[in-house]
Structure 1
Amino acid sequence: MSYLNSSLSLNGTMRAVMWSGIPYNVTVQNVPIPKIQTPTDAIIGVEVAGICGTDLHTYAGVLGSSTPPWVMGHEAAGVVVEIGSGVQYTKVGDEVVIPDQVHTGLLDMKLPNHGNREGYL
């Protein structure tokens, strides 16, 4: 749980890989730690993150539907550091995997192809 003891978490910032909008140009920057915005939000202290095809396409300038700069990465695992008032099944300190294919913001564990996530959300 190194994230919980990190000095970066104490000053309100975290390190993030940022894409500038220029192909092949990314930097590691200190950015504000996100805040809970809705009752079902959770803040995750990322311990590990992967690089996927979307990241590589963005890095090369092939993708880019959002206005740069933006934080890259969407495949990660870490520790829950804060939860909203409506979060029912996860508590601070839980180790979690961040699903990479949840575009609606909701994940129904009964749907097919989510068996690898059972017990980790």
Structure 2
Amino acid sequence: MKKNQYLYIIVLVIVIFIVGSIFYLTKYSKNSLSESKAISILKTAYPEFNSYPNNNLPPQSIKTEQDMNGWYVVFVQEGSGKPILGAKCFFVDNDENIRTIGEFNPSIEDIDFSIKTCTK
């Protein structure tokens, strides 16, 4: 009798684990967005960013930060006498919707800014 109870408990634990794994994968993995996909979505919507990143003068770079709901993406125009000439900030959610956060137009002494708010 005890042998059957242990077997029942083991089978039940395995079934719960499998069901939980399937639930997690269908809920979270399906909607996860990769960094490269978020950048690609923005480059498709805004063709002026197709040349980013590059080392031409002035250099252009892309900064990203992952959030549980998607990706913050910033296209940065860098300078030589001025660390940052300007930046345009976006958020791409896991459903591939784009939200414009804003633009950062720094003063001469500004060297850094928040990727989430597009402000210093």
Q: Select the structure that is richer in helix.
A: 2
Higher relative contact order (CA 8 A, sep 6+): 1
- Smaller-chain TM-score range? under 0.3
TM-score, length basis structure 2: 0.23
Which has the greater radius of gyration?
Answer: 2
TM normalised by structure 1 equals 0.23
